[in-house]
Structure 1
Amino acid sequence: MAPLIPSQEELERRRIVGINAETVTNMSSTDFPGHWPGEDHAWDLNKFRDGFQVEFHRNDRFEAAFSLIGLDAAIANAFRRIMMAEIPTLAIEYVFVHNNTSVIQDEVLAARLGLIPLKGSVEGINWMRWFKKPTEDDPEGGSSPADYNTIVLHLSVECTKNPNAAPGEQDPRKLYHNAHVYARDIAFNAVGRQEQYFVDDEAIQPVNPDILVAKLRPDQKIEIEMHCIKGIGADHAKFSPVATASYRLMPDIKILRPILGDDAKKFAKCFPKGVIGLEKVTSQEAAQKGSGYEGHAGDIKAVVRDAFNDTVSRECLRHEEFEGKVKLGRIRDHFIFNVESTGQFESDVLFLESVKLLKLKCARWKRGLTDLMR
């Protein structure tokens, strides 16, 4: 018997997660074989290609917003988790304090330095190898610092009085030289083959040179050597290439019955600006029987203008005058991603890197499965 083919209206209904006043319905995925008797839901590559879409809404250096349409929630969440925890980046791991007479303790200063986002040649960072740390069971088994696994940075700053300061000056930045130590004071020393990758604008440097590291007063000094290694966010948050990576489902707003006049204005205020628009009822709509607009030509009506910006706050469901006139929901396979890069990678590149890592994971899993079948 040929498989049943559901109507387009039924397929659209299944895509919507219902948002009610106090409950959420139709949450579970139903696109797997056997859930709908008589229907064929076997996964098909060509069907996936036809339905999958990527739409970019914003593409700046530090922030990107894009939609993935036609994916399962598990895959979308895999991309999010990989971006946060598995893309390797560079960060300060070892801090050697030669001299620190500031008021900041050595361990606090080291922690602050480790959290400074760094940037440099992506090609060079990919060329670098992993630095193996010694363990309690094998204290001698760690890697030795080398040009291919360690980046060396230096910070040497001393605060002195400014003899040219104006009388009565109160600003310590004018009273003293180097009263504030910034990330820009960190110096990079390329060694060996690093000179081929980390040169000029591609040199290792803080993403934001104005990050405040410490405050000094005359005769106080900081002299530090720092070793940077590759790591992933799963080891420590300082290695995460994103400040945040999140997604939300595309909102769905359906006006079931006309909302007119003052009710339309009140309805628009229940949503973020621009989501609901106000338009005049046309004479054609007023003349159409059963439209609900009979006799209301020229009156103001509420229309959905841009559901993308809605936060699905359910505010409109609190008011009795809108009961039965609106239906809220979310589209279950339309994921709106927002990715904020810390600066080591371009924001849109992070998603491509997550795709590469997921492909490697799948290839590794296939090899393991093949080995089990032997």
Structure 2
Amino acid sequence: MSARTDEAFARRKIIGVNEETVTNVSSKDFPHHYTTSDQVEDPSWFLRKFQEGLEITFHEHKPFDTSFSLIGIDASIANAFRRIMIAEVPTLALEQVYIKNNTSIIHDEILAQRLGLVPLAGDPAFLEDLKPFKYVEPGQEGGSAPYWGNSIALELKVECMWQEKGKERARQGETDPKQLYNNSSIYAHQLEFVPSKEQTDRFPACFIKPVNPEILIAKMRPGQKIDILAFAVKGIGEDHAKFSPVATATYRMLPVIEITRPILGADADKFARCFNRGVITKSRVTEEEASREGSGYEGHEGEMKAVVSDPFKDTVSRECLRHPEFKGKVRLGRAMDHFIFKVESTGQFTSDEVFLESVRILKQKAKKMVVHLDNLVGPPKEKTGDVAQEQGSAMDTDG
């Protein structure tokens, strides 16, 4: 393949960001095949070729806040991971709240909603074995009642009272409710896990608790009480947002900035200000660059030039395209096969576990699709042992 064809092939992988338009945004008939007009390419998919092109790079790796690049996949797969992380990874959340007593100023339904949105954390093995729970209105069929195998019981039983000698401090001008009263503010850590005997026997190490113990649930004053028994069940974000394991799961394509003609001197300073700090830096034109014919730097040795330093920090601003002095000197775009993910977990799983779970779920979906396709085609024909072994080996390298 010639250098000219290589350049044309590379351009096919870039979405063009122009002053008024965005170009080359159409999806490909065959993912990862960016053919040019003078090139004929076999659209077959090969596992080995995909593995060689796949790359994962971490930019920020914290337990509940992760940023990484997934390189060498199609946009449909990247978006599938994002949607699965948001809506199909099962988690634990409060579903049914039985209010025995609530004399606080918060209405029962608001209190129940606030409790339902408190993220819970616990033993992942226990969550995996927890059976699905389906609530239906009384008198309807198809639902299930809460029991140790499909739900987790939590209790909130608090009463606000005067601190000892609190009235005396009040007469002295004390105004802080925490100094005047006990349980003036009710926090998530006051939710207590109430395991049944079966849960204790089967999961002795299991402990369910709120992810953040300092989530404020309610405020009370002396004489007010809250007595609640709540049941947490396993669900997915598709049913309700409270079951979503992530606060944020997004991706963006890697920005591409290409300086096609030299930008020097004061123009280099102005060009750098068109982008986020650190995207464009300046360096001096070397003697080699100044002496190379056709480089555009002839006679500019020692001058400052604009250099693309870190496109990762760019937000694909078109500011530089507004200035006439940069016309024809820069080309902006986004890489089609480079996706920068940002995953923030709510705490029940780490961000890594959420992403790996989305991969597992996508694999299950693909296997189900294969089964459905086989059923459409019909029962498989009998194969000899040699033929079956040969086809099985081919699947290791071909798609």
TM over 0.5: yes
C-alpha separation in 1, matches of 2:292 and 2:202? 70
Residue 195 of structure 1 and its aligned partner are, at CA, apart by 2.4
Equivalent residues of 2:93, 2:119 under 8 A apart = yes
Counterpart of 1:7 in structure 2 is 5
Counterpart-to-counterpart distance in 1, 2:3 and 2:305: 37
Asked if 1 retains the 8 angstrom alpha-carbon contact of 2:89 and 2:236, the reply is yes
Could you say if the C-alpha distance between residues 198 and 21 of structure 1 is closer, same or farther in structure 2, counting changes exceeding 3 Å? farther
Q: How large is the RMSD of aligned CA atoms in angstroms?
A: 2.1
User: For residues 210 and 67 of structure 1, what CA distance do their matches in structure 2 show?
Assistant: 33
| 1:278 maps to amino acid | K
Per-residue CA deviation, residues 126-150 of structure 1 (Å, 9 max, x unaligned), is 11111132368x7143212221101
Aligned residue runs from structure 1 range 111-130, under 5 A: 111-130=113-132
1:306 to 301, 310, 322: 310
Go from structure 1 to structure 2 and tell me whether the alpha carbon gap of 1:140 and 1:353 turns closer, same or farther (over 3 Å shift).
same
3-state secondary structure, aligned to 2:364: helix
How many residues are matched? 370
CA contact (8 A) 1:31 1:41 kept: no
The percent identity for this pair of structures is: 54
Letter in 2 for 1:23: T
Residue pairs, 1:69-80, within 5 angstroms? 69-80=71-82
Q: In structure 2, how many angstroms separate the alpha carbons of the residues matched to 1:198 and 1:30?
A: 50
- Structure 2 equivalent of residue 16 of structure 1: 14
The residue that corresponds to 2:26 in the other structure is: 28
Partner of 2:192: 187
Q: Residue 193 of structure 2 aligns to which amino acid in structure 1?
A: F
For residue 291 of structure 1, report the CA deviation from its aligned partner. 1.6
Is the alpha carbon distance of 1:193 and 1:59 closer, same or farther for their aligned partners in structure 2, counting shifts above 3 Å?
farther
Using the TM superposition, give the Cα deviation of residue 341 of structure 1 relative to its aligned residue in structure 2, in angstroms.
Answer: 0.4
Give TM-score scaled by structure 1 length.
Answer: 0.94
Partners of 2:13 and 2:335 within 8 A in 1: yes
Question: 237-246 vs 361-370, which deviates more?
Answer: 361-370
* Residues 258, 196 of structure 1: alpha-carbon distance in 2 compared, 3 angstrom cutoff: farther
User: 1:34: how far off?
Assistant: 11
Q: Is the 8 A contact 1:190 1:198 kept in 2?
A: no
| Structure 1: stretches of 5+ with no match in the other structure | none
Deviation (angstroms), 1:31: 5.7
Query: Residue 34 and residue 220 in structure 1: after superposition, are their counterparts in 2 closer, same or farther (change >3 A)?
Result: closer
Counterpart of 2:175 (choices 170, 181, 205) is 170
Separation in 2, partners of 1:296, 1:199:
74
Cα distance in 1, alignment partners of residues 9 and 202 from structure 2 = 52
Question: Does residue 229 of structure 1 match 2:230?
Answer: no
Q: 1:91 to 1:283 in 2, by over 3 A?
A: same
Aligned residue among 357, 360, 370 for 2:374: 370
Structure 2 stretches lacking a partner, 5+ long? 379-399
Change (3 A) 1:196 1:77: farther
Match of 2:69 in 1: 67
Deviation at 1:6, TM superposition (A): 9.1
Q: Which whole-Å CA distance do the structure 1 matches of 2:355 and 2:332 have between them? A: 30
What is the identity, as a one-letter code, of the residue corresponding to 2:83? R
Q: Give me the TM-score of the superposition, normalised by structure 2.
A: 0.88
Equivalent residue of 2:197, what SS? Answer: coil
Change (3 A) 1:197 1:243: farther
Per the alignment, residue 152 of structure 1 pairs with: 153
Read off the aligned partner of 1:21 and give its amino acid letter: E
Deviation, 1:40, is 1.4
Conserved 8 A contact 1:121-1:197: no
Residues 226-270 of structure 1: CA distance to partner in whole angstroms, max 9, x if unpaired? 000000000000000000111000010000111111111111111
Partners in 2 of 1:20 and 1:92 — Cα distance? 49
SS in 2 for 1:297: coil
